[in-house]
Amino acid sequence: MSSVVTLDVLLRHIPAQESQKYLFGRLDLKTLKATRCVNKLWQSLVDPILEFNVELKDDTKRYVSCFGDNRPVNCLSTTLFKGRYPPEGLALNVNMIQFTVDDEDENRHGPWPSNQRRIVGLTPYNFRRLINDFYFVEKLRIQSVAVRTFENERSLRRTYLPNLKEVIITFFDSGFRELMPFLQNYFPSLKRASIANVCELRKDRPSAYTRIFAFIARHDKILEDVTLIYPEGQMATSLTQPMVYRDLRQDHKMPQDMYQDVKRKLEGMKLEKILWDVSMMEGTGRYNLGSALLRSQTTLKELLLDNLFLKDITLWNSVGSILEKSSKTLKQVTLGGCMCVPLPLGGSSHFSCAWLKNCEGLEYLVMTICGMFVESIELLPTGKLRYLNLGHMLLPNQIEYIAQSFPNLEIWTLPQKGCKVNMLVPKINLYLFQVILHLPRLSKLTLCIETAEIEEILQYSGSQPGISNVKCVCVSSPKTGSISFSIDRMIFQRDQSELYGFIEKFRRELIEDLEMNEAELVEFFLRHVLADNNNLLPMER
């Protein structure tokens, strides 16, 4: 009896979930691919572990149609699919559907020439068949360019997906109007919504602002995560005055009763995660639905606010209150933008760590608003913080405090390079670098390549066992970029005197046999000798 037959008998008596977890789940990808070819039983057990991604196009339709036995597919993507949909349908168990643009056109988000508009993309009939066949999908990604040939397509506003848990919608110039009706849908199981608008700002384009927030408000009882990059957000980086393009920022004209209803629902939502690339319109007149959603949150676990500029000073002045309201649940905070200009009366150019003093569960903190000073750093919770980046305005005493007070910090980014607000902010030096290395769990430190004494730092790190570095420089400007230092704590955090005393016994034979300097010898010894005998020296666990 062959070993395969013997295993087949055993596998039939083991629950599929257990065999997948304890047997096949331990195999690497190459072995799994070979294993699924043994027979149908093994294939049925391996396929749920593998993530099959299938691309449905005119030239692959024939092969996809041959799939049978309700094969599990992680993602079914459609791009160039204008041919006839298989009459018998597709026998696939699909987790996610993507309606996207063809690879060769991914960088062409503008309007297509008229002679190409009906050559590339998806037909309305094929869209309807895919939605009907795979109504059970849990994740959907749709780009406006994929439906740009649709005209008054009812299936876009009547999309029945009862199990949908996550939707990712992207509006480009092409297909903007055609996809807009999709926001009229309601998905009863939706937990995560990501909506991005990367169109050019156009005076004749109907505002999507209200429709996007109306879509969010329609799911007020079930949504947990929201990601928003809504109209005109891409222009925010080039604007410093709040009333630039006044003629393009008129009132959104939503009826007042509807506006109040949407705002009320947004203020009543309890989200766990908000990622928001703030629009240039936010805070102007009735363009305050995003602010209303944000300011009412009390249970956030993750908050990301990007594109914060002078125009958003009112929103920025509310950040402290927003953080304090979710202090019991926050784990990740990311704030980005630029305040490298004089702020108006009532504006603050300081980030106060006091806003986070009660965030005992905080693990990840990034505050990279250019020109923003950090204050009250001694109030920052030290217990669980593992990732830290407080921008380039930290002072030497603040850096020393962090190095002495955050025992669980693993990754620290220090882009110390000065800024337009205060060129006197010191850059990190060799002394501070040595102080930082004393953090007991620090495994990665990233510095700006323009850091003072960078050559001395590189020379020192090169002499220390367990420290390596990788440079990442800009091609157009080789003098700018970053250097990441990786620290192997098992090697670096040794009692050096005890280590060198122990090695002294074997120095002569090792140096004669292996032409190494002292630092290389220590690293070699630790990796190849102590790895097999942990009792030779006390090791921190």
3-class secondary structure, 491: helix
Q: Please state, in angstroms and rounded to a whole number, the distance separating the CA atoms of residues 349 and 343.
A: 7
Structural contact between residues 45 and 7, judged by C-beta atoms closer than 8 angstroms: no
Q: Which residues, including other chains, have CB under 8 Å from residue 307's CB and lie 6 or more apart? A: 233, 236, 237, 277, 278, 279, 336, 337
Average pLDDT over residues 301-322: 83
As given in the structure block, the two tokens for residue 352 are 């106060």
| SS3 letters across 66-82 | CCCCCEEEEEEEECCEC
Q: Please state, in angstroms and rounded to a whole number, the distance separating the CA atoms of residues 245 and 438.
A: 51
Nearest residue to 231 via CA among 250, 257, 218, 255: 250
Q: Please state, in angstroms and rounded to a whole number, the distance separating the CA atoms of residues 175 and 200.
A: 13
In which residue are the tokens 């024939």 written?
62
Distances (CA, A) of 167 to 93, 140, 178, 215: 18, 5, 17, 12
Structural contact between residues 83 and 58, judged by C-beta atoms closer than 8 angstroms: yes
Domain parsing of the chain, residue ranges = 1-50, 496-532
Report pLDDT for 103: 45
pLDDT beyond 90 at 353:
yes
Span 30-40, pLDDT tens digits: 776 777 777 77
CA 448 to chain centre: 22
Q: Please state, in angstroms and rounded to a whole number, the distance separating the CA atoms of residues 296 and 283.
A: 15
| DSSP codes joined into one string, 524-541 | HHHHHTGGG-TTSS----
Between residues 361 and 478, the one the model is more confident about? 361
Between residues 221 and 92, the one the model is more confident about? 221
Report pLDDT for 242: 39
Span 365-382, pLDDT tens digits: 999 888 788 999 999 999
pTM of this structure: 0.77
Q: Which of 199-203, 359-363, 369-373, 380-384 is predicted with the least confidence, judged by mean pLDDT?
A: 199-203
Span 48-81, pLDDT tens digits: 667 677 888 777 777 777 666 667 788 888 877 7
Q: Please state, in angstroms and rounded to a whole number, the distance separating the CA atoms of residues 523 and 153.
A: 66
Q: Please state, in angstroms and rounded to a whole number, the distance separating the CA atoms of residues 77 and 97.
A: 6
Report pLDDT for 530: 46
